């Protein structure tokens, strides 16, 4: 009769049927909440370009991580916002610096109920906003920066980080940090390597979130957006240096790269749904152009479908409450 013998719509007929055959799911345990803590803050400070996201005080940070743990979120990633900056980012190495204090606060609040991760980078702490110390030519000195990363990693492990997240894209960073952690007796502290991190326009709101002092750009160390094979080279290097997990950042503009990394990696793969991705969706929602909940879940599903085992997202706690 000319009618189709195959009818895929049969498996889309009811919510129960669609749920039964769904190929990809998003669970609270797969989500990680990035959080900012501001030195000296007595109450949360709103971030104008990221509606709903704040720079936390120590007290509000404790409350928010407890809420995340109760929602079943898998982990948190902490970023420090110091009051002062200098050329070498010395606040990152201070045991009583904002990030290390925050790590101790969070571990005392939730213990091992969720995975506590820390951003291991100097950009929040330097007065030039770059991810390392500058050489005489004004470019980031890779090897001098590695020495500081090693010390920073040990301080973060001592403060309670389960995973440290080197995000500066310095050559050799994972290996140097792994050696430093092991030498200091922190053999159980893992490394979430920012293996693939592109020089992206989508980082704009994040720079407000951390009060970035950046002048210039980071194109000499972050990756070019047109390159995909390079990501696999970075993956091979980080795995060889001892990465326990690897990450692709940003997420939505690089789902093809995420899929290639996920196919090649033999460790868990994370993807970071970054500030600009968050901001553009919230802006579209505020204008009445998108259904907020459906859009958020659709983007999270797309990241999972591309191969991410873990998704860092500013909606982690909220989305977790919907999922369960």
Full DSSP string of 159-178? HT-SEEEE-S--TTHHHHHH
Q: Where are the alpha helices (DSSP H) in the chain?
A: 15-21, 58-70, 98-110, 142-159, 173-183, 204-209, 229-241, 255-264, 275-286, 292-305, 316-323
Based on the residue annotation, tell me whether 249 is a catalytic residue of this protein.
yes
Q: pTM of the prediction?
A: 0.95
Residue with tokens 């940070």: 61
| pLDDT tens figures, 232-269 | 999 999 999 999 999 999 999 999 999 999 999 999 99
Share of the chain above pLDDT 90, in %: 89
| pLDDT tens figures, 39-48 | 999 999 999 9
Name the catalytic one among 62, 85, 218, 249. 249
Q: Which pLDDT belongs to residue 106?
A: 98
| pLDDT tens figures, 263-319 | 999 999 999 999 999 999 999 999 999 999 999 999 999 999 999 999 999 999 999
Give the bridge partners for 77, in sequence order.
34, 117
Domain boundaries, the chain: 25-323
Q: 25-323 maps to which CATH number?
A: 3.20.20.70
Q: Does 213 score more than 80 pLDDT?
A: no
Separation of alpha carbons 211 and 39, rounded Å: 11
Name the catalytic one among 38, 85, 130, 197. 197
Token digits for 266? 């033999």
Q: Does 18 score more than 90 pLDDT?
A: yes
Q: Does 26 score more than 80 pLDDT?
A: yes
Based on the residue annotation, tell me whether 63 is a catalytic residue of this protein.
no
């Amino acid at each position: 009769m000319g009618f189709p013998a195959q009818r895929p719509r049969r498996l889309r007929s009811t919510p129960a049927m669609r749920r039964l055959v769904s190929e990809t799911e998003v669970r609270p345990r797969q989500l990680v909440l990035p959080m900012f803590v501001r030195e000296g803050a007595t109450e949360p400070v709103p971030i104008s370009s990221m509606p709903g996201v704040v720079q936390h005080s120590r007290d509000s940070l404790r409350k928010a991580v407890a809420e995340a743990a109760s929602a079943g979120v898998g982990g948190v990633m902490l970023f420090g916002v110091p009051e002062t900056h200098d050329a070498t980012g010395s606040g990152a190495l201070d045991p009583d610096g904002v990030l290390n204090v925050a790590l101790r606060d969070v571990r005392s609040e939730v213990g091992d109920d969720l995975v506590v991760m820390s951003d291991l980078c100097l950009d929040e702490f330097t007065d030039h906003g770059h991810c390392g110390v500058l050489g005489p030519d004004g470019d980031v000195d890779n090897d001098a920066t590695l020495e500081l990363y090693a010390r920073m990693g040990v301080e973060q492990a001592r403060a309670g980080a389960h995973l440290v997240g080197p995000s500066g894209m310095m050559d050799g960073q994972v290996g140097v940090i792994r050696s430093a952690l092991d030498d200091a007796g922190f053999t159980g502290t893992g490394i979430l390597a920012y293996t693939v991190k592109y020089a992206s326009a989508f980082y704009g709101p994040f720079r407000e979130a951390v009060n970035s002092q950046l002048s210039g750009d980071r194109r000499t160390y972050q990756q070019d957006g047109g390159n995909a094979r390079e990501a696999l080279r970075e993956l091979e290097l980080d795995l060889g240096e001892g990465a326990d997990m690897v990450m692709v950042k940003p997420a939505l503009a690089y789902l093809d790269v995420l899929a290639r990394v996920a196919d090649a990696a033999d460790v868990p793969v994370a993807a970071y749904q970054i500030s600009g991705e968050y901001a553009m969706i919230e802006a579209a929602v505020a204008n009445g152009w998108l259904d907020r909940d459906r859009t958020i879940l659709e983007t999270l599903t797309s990241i999972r479908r591309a191969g991410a085992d873990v998704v860092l997202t500013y909606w982690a706690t909220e989305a977790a409450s919907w999922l369960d």
